[in-house]
């Protein structure tokens, strides 16, 4: 990923982003395939692993064991008009946030399915996981026959926030204000990310 120094994230920032935006595109080559899939990140010291699973009916999993994949995590993004800048003339652009993870895939035996599917539930619906009348063992056993679990052993990660931080402070403020006053959801989400990073907000 082309990443000028001013736009690059640290490794720690990249992992924080992955945890905030865990839905990813997992891309493999030979043959070229892509699956949109949620990931659960596990970090310990300098080692990072991603847990995931996909439908057993998806033929993609048959090509993955032992292969390297590119996993793309994408965040808010939107069009930026050149007319919004105070400095003119200015060309339009597209601002966005993304993290690329390279990893080697380990396809796991079915004995991992229950733990991996419950891991997703625990992350997003912890209040339901304790209610056995909703997700009882018989129901989970049936679900687990329909998925394939995978562990992705991370080899490298690179992150990029293109939020105008390389622009003059007055241009940053102009972009932030325009996005904040927009009615488009994409614009408001990017403005929220700029606010989180204090880009264009006028804050120290």
CB atoms within 10 A of CB 64: 21
Whether 200 has a pLDDT exceeding 70, the answer reads yes
The average pLDDT across 63-76 equals 97
In angstroms, what CA-CA distances link 49 with 27, 129, 156, 172, 201?
A: 17, 23, 11, 36, 35
The reply to whether 100 falls in a domain is: yes
Residue 49 is assigned to a structural domain of this protein: yes
State yes or no: pLDDT of 204 exceeds 70: no
SS3 204: coil
Q: 76: closest CA among 135, 152, 17? A: 17
Stretch 2-25: mean pLDDT: 95
The residue ranges of DSSP E strands in 31-92, in sequence order, are 33-38, 40-44, 47-55, 68-80
- pLDDT, mean of residues 47-69: 96
Q: How far apart are CA 202 and CA 204, in angstroms?
A: 7
pLDDT in tens, 79-128: 999 999 998 888 999 999 999 999 999 999 999 998 888 888 888 887 76
Cα dihedral angle (10, 13, 17, 22), rounded to 10 degrees? 80
Please count the structural domains in the chain.
1
* Residue 173 included in any domain: no
For the four alpha carbons of 11, 15, 17 and 18, in that order, the dihedral sign comes to positive
Q: Could you tell me if residue 193 is inside a domain? A: no
Q: Is position 187 within any domain? A: no
Tokens at 48, concatenated: 């990072």
Give the span between the Cα atoms of 189 and 180, in whole angstroms.
9
Number of C-beta neighbours around residue 163 at 10 A = 24
The CATH number for 43's domain is 2.30.110.10
Give the span between the Cα atoms of 86 and 88, in whole angstroms.
Answer: 6
- Asked whether residue 194 is assigned to any structural domain, the reply reads no
Q: Which range of residues forms the domain containing residue 141?
A: 5-82+92-164
DSSP three-state, residue 152 = strand
pTM confidence score: 0.90
Residue 19, domain member (yes or no): yes
Q: Is the pLDDT of residue 36 over 90?
A: yes
Confidence of residue 186 (pLDDT cuts 50, 70, 90): very high
pLDDT at 63: 92
How much is the average pLDDT of 185-201?
Answer: 94
Does a structural domain hold residue 29? yes
């Amino acid at each position: 990923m082309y990443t000028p120094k001013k736009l690059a994230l640290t490794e720690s920032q990249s992992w924080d982003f992955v945890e905030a935006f865990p839905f990813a595109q997992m891309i493999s080559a030979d043959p070229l395939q892509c699956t949109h899939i949620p990931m659960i990140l596990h970090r310990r010291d300098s080692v990072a692993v991603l847990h995931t699973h996909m439908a057993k009916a998806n033929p993609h999993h048959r090509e993955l064991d032992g292969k390297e994949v590119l996993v793309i995590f994408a965040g808010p993004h939107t069009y930026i008009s050149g007319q919004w800048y105070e400095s003119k003339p200015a060309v339009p652009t597209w601002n966005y946030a993304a993290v690329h993870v390279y990893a080697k895939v380990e396809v796991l035996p079915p004995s991992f399915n229950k733990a991996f599917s419950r891991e997703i539930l625990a992350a997003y619906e912890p209040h339901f996981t304790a209610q056995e009348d909703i997700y009882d063992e018989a129901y989970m056993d049936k679900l687990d026959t329909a998925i394939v679990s995978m562990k992705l052993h991370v080899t490298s990660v690179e992150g990029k926030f293109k939020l105008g931080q390389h622009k003059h402070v007055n241009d940053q403020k102009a972009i932030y204000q325009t996005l904040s006053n927009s009615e488009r959801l994409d614009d408001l989400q990017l403005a929220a990310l700029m606010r989180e990073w204090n880009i264009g907000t006028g804050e120290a």
